[in-house]
Amino acid sequence: MENAIALKRAEIEAAGIELTDLTDTNPTRHNLLDPAVLEIIAEHLPGASRYEPHPRGPWPARAALAERYGGDPEDYWLCASTSEAYGWLFSLLAGAGKAVAVPSPGYPLIEPLAQYRGVSTRDYRSFYAHPSGWELDRTSLEQTLAEPDVRAVVAIHPNNPTGAYQDPIIAQLAHKQGLPLIADEVFFPYQFEDPLSTDIKR
Ligand X SMILES: Cc1ncc(COP(=O)(O)O)c(C=O)c1O
Cβ–Cβ contacts within 10 Å for residue 39, how many?
Answer: 11
Q: Does 186 bind ligand X (CB under 6 A)?
A: yes
104 binds ligand X, rule: CB under 6 A? no
Contact status: 82 vs ligand X (CB under 6 A): yes
Least distance (Å) between residue 82 CB and ligand X: 3
Taking the complex as a whole, how short is the minimal distance between the CB of residue 27 and ligand X, in angstroms? 26
> Which H or E run contains 56?
none
Q: Choose, by CB under 6 A, the member of 91, 104, 160, 177 that binds ligand X.
A: 160
Query: Closest separation between CB of residue 83 and ligand X, Å?
Result: 3
Binders of ligand X in range 124-153 (CB under 6 A): none
For ligand X, give the closer residue by CB, 81 or 197: 81
Judge residue 133's burial from the number of C-beta atoms within 10 Å of its C-beta, 0-12 exposed, 13-18 middle, 19 or more buried: middle
Q: Which stretch binds ligand X (CB under 6 A): 44-52, 79-87, 163-171, 188-196?
A: 79-87
DSSP states along 84-142: HHHHHHIIIII-TT-EEEEEES--TTHHHHHHHTT-EEEEEEEEEETTTEEEE-HHHHH
In the complex, minimum distance from the CB of residue 67 to ligand X, in angstroms, rounded to a whole number: 23
- Which regions of the chain does DSSP assign to beta strands (E)? 99-104, 120-129, 133-136, 150-156, 181-184
162 in contact with ligand X (CB under 6 A) = no
SS3 category, 78: coil
Distance CA 8, CA 31 (A): 26
Q: How far is the CB of 139 from ligand X (least distance, A)?
A: 24
Q: How far apart are CA 167 and CA 18, in angstroms?
A: 61
Binding to ligand X by residue 158, rule CB under 6 A?
no
Does the protein bind ligand X through residue 184 (CB under 6 A)? yes
Residues of this chain that interact with ligand X (CB under 6 A) are 81-83, 107, 156, 160, 184, 186
